[in-house]
Chains A and B, each alone.
Chain A
Amino acid sequence: MWSFRVRGGVKLQYHKELSSEKAVVPMPLPRRLYLPLQQHIGAPALPVVVVGDTVLKGQLIAKAAPGLSAPVHASSSGTVVAIEEYVAPHPSGLRQKTIVIDTDGQDRWAELPKPITDDFPLGVTPAELNSRVAAAGIVGMGGAAFPSAVKLDLKSRYQLDTLLINGAECEPYLTCDDRLMREEAAAVIDGVRILAYALEVQSVVFAIERNKPQALAAIREAARVEPWIKVMALPTRFPMGSERHLVLACTGRETPSRKLTADIGVVVHNVATARAVARTVRSGEPLISRVVTVSGRGIREPANINVPLGTLVEDLLVFCGGLHPVPHKLIGGGPMMGAPLPSVQVPVVKGTSGVLALTADEVNDGAESPCIRCGSCVSACPCGLVPLEMAQLVRRGDLQGAQAIGLQDCVSCGSCSFICPSHIPLSHYFNFAKGQLGALDRDSRRQDRIRSLIQARNERAAREAEAKKAAAAARKAAKAAAAAASAAAPVDTPASQLEEST
């Protein structure tokens, strides 16, 4: 089906075997937790605790900011020791406001919202469910970290009919979703039903790539109770998990450029998100942990770990027996779309699906050679772009030209860079160019604003000058009139006075 609906894509070396047979294990509680206020797309959350406060597991420590945002909860009990700038898990190495908690080792729970345990139909309205999901701080756990409640609310603005559950997990190495589907199929399916209920859609498609036969079987089995959930086995091809391509492969609908999948009636949620929703609804627990795959040949013991959010990557690596040859690259997420981690001192956040320590031969960085126009990048691009040409334009600094041939339609999947025999970092160029265009855009908006301000000022000045002139003219006219009147008056003016007035 991929073969005739979706073009492009690449065949990868998946390396999933490193961790796919490792059942999810719990992470021992770390001594310190670092919870950044921004673990999602949108505005950073606002702290509701101060340094010195004692907090309990699951307690709200930062509330959602107005607009697009998500709250943050304490992932264990302890004391808030700092609210300060701390390195974020982002390649820039930039710092951001982070709540630091010294754990007390007791892992005491706060009082949680009352669980909703009724079978379907649930005893709550979809709107109430939404606010619970919002309050639990759940965000898309496939990597994009879009606040889930906002996605559930799309039905107020779009005509939705289908919920698509993304269990593709097309990134190499990552097996956290695979394990989740195998080990907690029932909870995942329960979450899917809750999501469908909240979205009020009639049809649900659960998509899993064929390279996860056990997950497929487990989900099929669990979904037997709900025959309207259609479980689909997808061919293994990168980037199958890309939202738009997944929608096309599963529903035959193509999302228009620069639009949302909601525009064609489909909402996509990740499997881990579905499980988190089920947790929140069934036990009242907010999003305070997630399953993370720690893998790569630079890791002594690859594993799937249920990690309290805020745990440092360093603690995670130690738990996995440490690094064994010194790895070449440390990556957060998958090797295709993930980002290098600035240090091991960064915390696991809601969107962290993997921590990979890759050795030099896994990364295979080659020196860049000239483009030989082999066209591999063109056949690989799932978006129908011509990467070699776009890269040429970007290199020349012609961003408008690159935009004209589709730069903004690039989903940064990295397939083109992966396949290029000349090792040209194509997607790097495109990310760079998109960043530049964004900056230019902001710049031009600012310039527009400045221009309009200047114009307003000029107009005001002109108006004032006009008014002054008019006033002066009026005064002159009045004076002239007065002079005329006095001249007309049959009074003899002394010659000395006349001279003075001229």
Chain B
Amino acid sequence: MITMATRAGPFTHTVNSISRTMLWVMAALLPATAYGLWLFGWPAIFLLVITLATALAAEALMLKLLGQPVRARLADGSALLTGWLLALSLPPWAPWWIGFLGALVAIVLGKHLFGGLGQNMFNPAMVARIVLLISFPVQLTVWVAPAPLGSANAPSFSQALTYVAGHSTLPEHMSAATSLGVLKTEHSRGISVAKTTEQLPPPEQLAIGREPGSMGETSAGLLLAGGLLLLALRIISWHIPLAMLGTLATLALVSNALDPSRFAAMPIHLLSGATLLGAFFIATDYVTSPVSRSGQLLFGAGIGALTWVIRSLGAYPEGVAFAVVLMNAMVPLIDRGFRPRVFGRSRRGQSLDTKKPKIPL
């Protein structure tokens, strides 16, 4: 037994803790979230509240069932963050049971079935999103045109309640499609990607995010700002986001140059869909990404590549969630293969030889 009676040092500690980390991540998500809530109005606000509440309740229930300290673990903020990320990736006007079911799946199936915090192999929010997408493809691909709070199109509080309760369907004039979705459907109808692109919002608008899409994914600029904040605070390192965005950008550039009628341009790949949310907030999830820097580079590059492949060659317009989960599965392998070099040993683990010093003073 390891005893703590004469616990050795260090007798000093960083101020960092799990809850501090989670709180900063949520703080970094705040701008994009606030923008999404404003853009999509009351139904989006209800959706966020539902996923957060469900995630917390499910977490508390599971902790209780598993005999873990409920209060302390709940306070670490991990469940809240999972619920939050899930909400951001859902269609903003999704009915209540989508948010409820999603959060339940994320916490129970995606997290606690694997052993709880730190043990899950896949990103819980992405697992939930995929399960929802496969089980309820219709509800998960209903997009609305932006209807900012206070604008003429915006549903009132009570109207919003009826949408979220699932009592009324979307008004015809509100339904819309995402950029990536348009590209995919038009391409399947034989219309050149280059041609479709002309009708899409230009890159500047994609960066601002006033377009149809998931609740918190539309504003590339605000997501990037949040990501940069996390980088500056050293809560995440640059390895995963840069590798992911770099790979995706490179593949998009090259493919688009080779065949612009078939492959979307680089800005569309980077600025729409879950690309930026994924790069800074989802792929960087500590638990489900590799621990070594070199492993993180490979992991990020893998997500970037898979995202491009799924979007360009696969059946779904969106690829980030699938790409992340697929790479999550590779993490144990990557962690095994990409350890740092041990001091005083060669990469293969042998002690360095003691021949005469190479660098004379």
Using A256-B344, A409-B344 as known contacts, say yes or no to A358 and B17 having CB atoms under 8 A apart: no
Mask of B1-41 contacts with A, CB within 8 angstroms, 1/0? 01010111111111111101100000000000000000000
B344 touches A259 (CB 8 A): yes
B8 touches A428 (CB 8 A): yes
Residues in B whose Cβ lies below 8 Å from that of A372: 18, 78, 117-118, 286-287
Asked whether any CB of chain B lies closer than 8 Å to the CB of A167, the reply is no
Asked whether any CB of chain B lies closer than 8 Å to the CB of A47, the reply is no
Number of cross-chain contacts by CB at 8 Å = 189
A253 touches B359 (CB 8 A): yes
CA A340 to CA B9, docked complex, whole Å: 8
Contact of A253 among B8, B288, B293, B358 (CB under 8 A): B358
Asked whether any CB of chain A lies closer than 8 Å to the CB of B253, the reply is no
B291 touches A335 (CB 8 A): no
Asked whether any CB of chain B lies closer than 8 Å to the CB of A370, the reply is yes
Residues in A whose Cβ lies below 8 Å from that of B117: 369-370, 372
CA A384 to CA B341, docked complex, whole Å: 5
Asked whether any CB of chain B lies closer than 8 Å to the CB of A395, the reply is yes
B6 touches A91 (CB 8 A): yes
Asked whether any CB of chain B lies closer than 8 Å to the CB of A38, the reply is no
Residue of A nearest to B10 (CB): A414
Mask of B336-361 contacts with A, CB within 8 angstroms, 1/0? 00011111110000011110111101
B342 touches A409 (CB 8 A): yes
Query: For the complex, would chain B's binding face be called helix, strand, loop or mixed by DSSP majority?
Result: loop
What is the total number of residues of chain A having a CB less than 8 Å from a CB of chain B? Answer: 80
Contact of B361 among A91, A205, A385, A395 (CB under 8 A): A205
Task: Write the nearest CB–CB distance from B304 to chain A, whole angstroms.
Answer: 20
B291 touches A373 (CB 8 A): yes
A422 touches B344 (CB 8 A): no
Residue of A nearest to B236 (CB): A374
- Segment 351-396 of A: residues with Cβ below 8 Å from B: 356, 358, 362-367, 369-376, 378-379, 381-386, 388-389, 394-395
Residues in A whose Cβ lies below 8 Å from that of B9: 331, 335-339, 414, 417, 427
Task: Write the nearest CB–CB distance from B2 to chain A, whole angstroms.
Answer: 5
Residues in A whose Cβ lies below 8 Å from that of B10: 335-337, 414, 417-418, 427
B12 touches A335 (CB 8 A): yes
A257 touches B4 (CB 8 A): no
Query: For the complex, would chain A's binding face be called helix, strand, loop or mixed by DSSP majority?
Result: loop
A384 touches B343 (CB 8 A): yes
B287 touches A373 (CB 8 A): yes
A409 touches B16 (CB 8 A): no
Q: Which of B9, B20, B73, B286 has the most CB of A within 10 A?
A: B9
Residues in A whose Cβ lies below 8 Å from that of B342: 257, 383-385, 406, 409
- Segment 174-220 of B: residues with Cβ below 8 Å from A: none
Asked whether any CB of chain A lies closer than 8 Å to the CB of B119, the reply is yes
Mask of A78-99 contacts with B, CB within 8 angstroms, 1/0? 0000000000000110000000
What is the total number of residues of chain B having a CB less than 8 Å from a CB of chain A? Answer: 52
CA A252 to CA B357, docked complex, whole Å: 9
B344 touches A395 (CB 8 A): no
Asked whether any CB of chain B lies closer than 8 Å to the CB of A329, the reply is yes
CA A246 to CA B118, docked complex, whole Å: 35
Residues in B whose Cβ lies below 8 Å from that of A162: 361
Asked whether any CB of chain A lies closer than 8 Å to the CB of B116, the reply is yes
B16 touches A367 (CB 8 A): no
Mask of A159-182 contacts with B, CB within 8 angstroms, 1/0? 101100000000010000000000
B2 touches A394 (CB 8 A): yes
Residue of B nearest to A257 (CB): B344
Residues in A whose Cβ lies below 8 Å from that of B352: 254, 256-257
- Chain A residues with CB under 8 Å of chain B are 7, 10, 12-13, 91-92, 159, 161-162, 172, 203, 205, 230, 244-245, 251-259, 263-265, 329, 331, 335-340, 356, 358, 362-367, 369-376, 378-379, 381-386, 388-389, 394-395, 405-406, 409, 412, 414, 417-419, 421-423, 425, 427-429, 431-432
**Can you add 8 more A-B contacts, CB < 8 Å, to A7-B340, A251-B357?**
A12-B12, A255-B344, A263-B354, A362-B12, A363-B11, A372-B18, A421-B18, A432-B2
